[in-house]
Structure 1
Amino acid sequence: MSGWQHFAIASAFFAGLTALFGKLGVAQINSNLATLIRTAVILGMTALIVAWRDEWEPLSKLSLRSVMFLILSAVATGLSWLFYYRALQLGPASQVAPVDKLSLVFVIILAWLFLGESLTWRTAAGGLLVLSGVLVLAKS
């Protein structure tokens, strides 16, 4: 396995924990407040990691284009988390989490359209299988 694959598997595992802990966390708290608490913890944790690894960069070295896209990514992430926590508050985690994984299908399509990534038959078939799985798992 490549280095990126290890990180991707770890990400998937922690995303699974996110659904479980998130469902328990929003049981008695407003979902927007829950998202704020989560975001504050992530901010603090990430700042500690950057400080510990001495990875701070002067603002003058940052590319305006990169910062702009990171801001857009943050807005998209924030909206995703707000909707995800509200969905967890209203529905079962075992159905909300699979629907959230439709993001994979969106990534395949958007990466093909905007990043010029190839859309092979394997990628398309995998995306359709994910879509099929979501439909099966999320059906009430």
Structure 2
Amino acid sequence: MATEKSGLSEALTTRVEGIRRGLEQSRFIGTVETASRWVTNAVRNSWLYNWLTAEPEPEVIVIDLRETWTVGPFIKILDWAIETTKPWYEQSVLKRGVNGVVALGEQAAETRPGQLLIALLEPPESPEERDETEDDQRNEK
């Protein structure tokens, strides 16, 4: 039985290798790769690509989306829906369940596995924060 499986495995491996070699040397794959390079070059040299990937202007412009014609109406609908459903949510079983899960999570965070999980999932310090921490530690000594 084991020899049959190994023989089948070898036959499949040989066939896959033959197909792979055939595809590597085929004109079709060569044509597709050449076309892909041309399209990539055309896209990267296009005005739209350069405009989308350009560095932003140093000035920061803040746009209040509530005042726009496209997004403003959706925000008004969302505000209305939230204001309408908030009293029902405050009295709902769902809110009590969410509060229970949050309390359970807070209790779990106090345990040793919870602390380990927090340490594993916590994002690393940025280089600026790391430099400030090292400076603070030097000043304390």
Q: Normalized against structure 2, the TM-score is what?
A: 0.23
Say which structure, 1 or 2, has more relative contact order (CA 8 Å, 6+ apart).
1
**Structure with bigger gyration radius:** 2
